[in-house]
Structures are given as C-alpha cells and as structure tokens.
Structure 1
Amino acid sequence: MSEHKKEKFTELDVEKLNIVDKSGKVKMTLFNQDNIPPLIMGGVDIAPGHRQNDPDSGIIFFNGKGEECGGLIYGSEEDEEGNYSATASLTFDQYNTDQVVQVHYSDENDDRLYGFSIYDRPNIPLSELVEKHKQIKQSQISDEIKEQQTKELLKGNAHRAFMGKNKDGDVSVQLMDSKGNERIRMVVDKNDVPRMEFLNEKGEVTYKLPPDE
C-alpha cells in the first residue's frame, strides 16, 4: 500500500494550477491572464483563440467528462491616458452547454453595470451549436437566409431575468419571456423614484404603477 504524503507550503507562486482526480482528469484550473484554458467541449477546443487576448485571470470548473461547466474570471485594463475597463463574472453552466446562472460586473470609465442574471439554453450540446453555426457562416447562401437559419439555430437561448444596477444608475428587477423580450420591470431610479411596468413583446409599456396622471 502506497503511503500518502502530505506537504505544507507557506507560499507558492504558480501561473497555472490544475486540480485533478485520481485518474488525472482536470476538475478545476486556476490561471493567470497568460494561461487561460481553451473552451473544451466534446474533448476538443470548440472555439480556438476564444478569450486568449482577454486580460482575465480566474478559475474554470470542469464536469465529469472534462468539459467546462462554469467558472470565475476577472480582469482589468488601463491605457496611458487613464481610460480603463474592468470585468468580473461568476457563472454556472447547464450540462453540455452554456451558462444559466451568472453574477457579473462591468465597468468602463465609471460606466458600470452589475447584478445577477439567469438564462435559458436549448437541450443541444454547445459543441454541436458551434459547429452548425460555423457551417451556416461558411455556406454559399444569401445573408438573409443565413440570418434566418442562425435565428432558428439559436432558438431557446434567452436572457430570462436580471437583478442589479444598470449604467443609468437604476436599480431594477427585469423579467423576460422565452424569447428574451422584457415583460416586467421593477425600478428604483437614480432619483429614488420607484415604478413598476408591464410590457408587450414589442417592448411597449402597457400598464404601469404608479399610473400616468
């Protein structure tokens, strides 16, 4: 029987660290901005170059098949004139596909948005969606038909809810329908004035509280 050896370190500097199971399969990766893991689905990188130029560090989670299933990323950039951008995102993915829960923050020169979102995803593996979308883009059909086919392919992907603060300074809860259209909006605006609005699928307000005088 092999003897389990436990080592203790007070401090350890690494650029990338993989947490693996007994078979060596990666379960979680900690990385800096120069070592962002590829987007692995179905055992292959389905989006070569994706994220490679982003100034993000963080943690990526992997499921039992070794596929990405969420993670935490964060980063920032600032130029010589002091213009900056900063982002942070914690996501949890639906099995075989993209994120369905997200806590996110973005900030560009004091233009901020932050909050919590949930999403719908179709029951189609993300790797299959990416491949079909690639085939549509490379096909010799008109742009109009490409747009129609892409829209049909992406059916079932929708932003369903947001709770947070937007770039206008409003704190809100927004509820969307299955197509991603905003249908209910509860707001306390930047002047501390509350309101609640119901919208149709075209984005038109059909009823509000308090009602217009």
Structure 2
Amino acid sequence: MRFDAGRALVIYAGALTAAVIWVGLGASAPAHRNARFATIDVGRINVREPDGTLRMTIASAAQAPGFIGGGEEYPRPDRRMAGMLFFNDEGTENGGLIFAGKDHDGKAVSGGSLTFDRYNQDQVVQLFGFEDGQERSAGIKVNDQPEGRLDFAAVDRVRTLPDNEQDAAYSAANVGGTQRLFAGRASDKSSQLVLRDGAGRKRLVLRVAEDGAASIEFVGADGKVQRTVRPTG
C-alpha cells in the first residue's frame, strides 16, 4: 500500500483540531466537580466569588497579604502572622483570625486574635489571647472607630513621614480607635470588666483579684478613683 502524505496530513490536522476543541470545552465548562485530597501543602489560598471578588485568604506568615481595601493592596510590614483574613462584599478587609507562638530564648511568646471591623474602618470587636513570658492577658475588647472612612492610601504614606508628623497624619486619615470595653483576664492576674467613656478614659472597673478580693471602682475624667466599693464583713 502506497503511503499518501497529503491524506495523512489532513487526518493529522483533523485530529489535532478535535483535540483542541475538546480541551477548550473542558476548560470552559462550569466548575461543578468536587475534588478530594488526602493532604494539601500550600502557602496561601484565596477564596473568591464567581466575579473574582476576594472574600477570604488563608495564608502562612510568609505569604500573608498586605491591607486590601478599595480594590488596592497596601503594604503591612507589621503583619507577620499566619491566619485568615475576611473581606466584605466589595473585597475590602473587614476582620480576620491570626495566631503565632514560639519559644524565644526560653521565654514563651504566643498570641491569637479574632477581629471584626467596622465598614471601611478598623476593628470594633476583638477576641484575643496574649502571652509574653510571665505577662499574660486574654479577653474581649469593644472599640469605637472614627466616623469617616479609613483613607487607605494616606495610611500607607504616613509611614514615610517623620515621627513627629505621624500622629496628626494618622488622625487626618481617620485612624485611631478608642477602646470602650474590656472583659477578661488582665496582666496582673485579676479578672476585670472595664468600661470607658467616648474619649477612652476608664470610668467603671469591676475587679476580682487572684486571691478573690473583689471591688468596684468609679473613676473620674481625671483618671482618679472617686469611690471604691468592696464587700462588707
């Protein structure tokens, strides 16, 4: 049988075209398949909506993103913890879960934090645990944040300013939360409920010391205790 080069070329071209079409159809088909893996080693996972909007990241400390807001990512050199970050419907960061811990020259240094942010602002609720040697605290904090939206680009620029200009620049960028409530275990080993006014000043402190001594303190705007109530007897 004589080899027909022309016919062979036509058959080859047809087969190649069919293969390309098959691959293309498979790639464009809806991703409704479920996959199973025994183990996945990964530095970062991005969870996105069908339109590409980022909704959550799970990342190692080395691959943790910067601050993402308004469709832009800004450096966060202080973010050196593994964890998860949450993003709102618009793809702007609005909370997260971070954690770390190590033996630092014989001293335990550990911490974890779960936070939820105000819209286009910083955290308003924080559940945390912190340990640095013998100094330990854990509890929940509730914060106020400025009414204006956080100016993400301005915050990034503040780091380049001289130290004596940064406080005013942060305030202009609507940075500066005020703690209103703390409930938990303080570093002095007491359990406390601390209520603060709008300026962040302590005004009412309920405390139970490690030895069981209980007290209620009423604090003036000047920071001085005006009255202390203790159990009688």
> Which category describes the TM-score, using the shorter chain as reference length?
0.7 to 0.9
- Structure 1 residue 7 corresponds to structure 2 residue 38: no
- Amino acid of the structure 1 residue aligned with 2:51: S
CA deviations over 1:25-76 (Å, ceiling 9, x no partner) = 221111111111111122223344241xx2x111000111111100000001
Among the aligned pairs, what percent are the same residue? 28
- Structure 1 residue 100 corresponds to structure 2 residue 124: yes
How far 1:109 sits from its partner (Å)? 1.0
CA deviations over 1:155-187 (Å, ceiling 9, x no partner) = 873100000001110100000000100000000
Distance in 1 separating the partners of 2:226 and 2:175: 26
- Contact kept, 8 Å, 2:158 with 2:166, in 1: the verdict is no
Distance in 2 separating the partners of 1:165 and 1:7: 44
Query: Are the structure 2 counterparts of residues 20 and 205 from structure 1 closer, same or farther at C-alpha, using a change threshold of 3 Å?
Result: same
- Contact kept, 8 Å, 1:133 with 1:150, in 2: the verdict is no
- Amino acid of the structure 2 residue aligned with 1:13: D
**Greater relative contact order: 1 or 2 (C-alpha under 8 angstroms, separation 6 or more)?**
1
Provide the secondary structure at the position in 1 that maps to 2:211. coil
- Structure 1 residue 179 corresponds to structure 2 residue 179: no
How far 1:207 sits from its partner (Å)? 1.3
- Contact kept, 8 Å, 1:101 with 1:117, in 2: the verdict is yes
Report the structure number with the largest CA radius of gyration: 2
Query: Are the structure 2 counterparts of residues 49 and 162 from structure 1 closer, same or farther at C-alpha, using a change threshold of 3 Å?
Result: same
Query: Which of 188, 193, 211 is the equivalent residue of 1:191?
Result: 211
Decide which moves more: 179-188 or 81-90.
Answer: 81-90
Decide which moves more: 104-113 or 170-179.
Answer: 104-113
How far 1:3 sits from its partner (Å)? 6.7
TM-score by length of 2: 0.77
CA deviations over 1:98-156 (Å, ceiling 9, x no partner) = 0000001110113101000000011222225x6179469748xx94xx48845864687
- Structure 1 residue 158 corresponds to structure 2 residue 194: no
- Contact kept, 8 Å, 2:218 with 2:228, in 1: the verdict is yes
Structure 1 counterpart of 2:133: 109
- Amino acid of the structure 2 residue aligned with 1:99: Q
Distance in 1 separating the partners of 2:83 and 2:156: 28
How far 1:205 sits from its partner (Å)? 0.6
TM-score by length of 1: 0.84
- Structure 1 residue 77 corresponds to structure 2 residue 102: yes
Query: Which of 188, 191, 201 is the equivalent residue of 1:168?
Result: 188
- Structure 1 residue 64 corresponds to structure 2 residue 89: yes
Distance in 2 separating the partners of 1:151 and 1:26: 27
Considering only aligned residues, what root-mean-square deviation do their CA atoms show, in Å? 2.8
Structure 1 counterpart of 2:25: none
- Amino acid of the structure 2 residue aligned with 1:113: S
Provide the secondary structure at the position in 1 that maps to 2:146. coil
Higher helix share: 2
Equivalent residues in 2 for 1:111-130, closer than 5 Å? 111-127=135-151
Provide the secondary structure at the position in 1 that maps to 2:151. helix
Query: Are the structure 2 counterparts of residues 191 and 67 from structure 1 closer, same or farther at C-alpha, using a change threshold of 3 Å?
Result: same
Decide which moves more: 151-160 or 41-50.
Answer: 151-160
For structure 2, the residue ranges without an aligned partner over 5 or more in a row are: 1-28
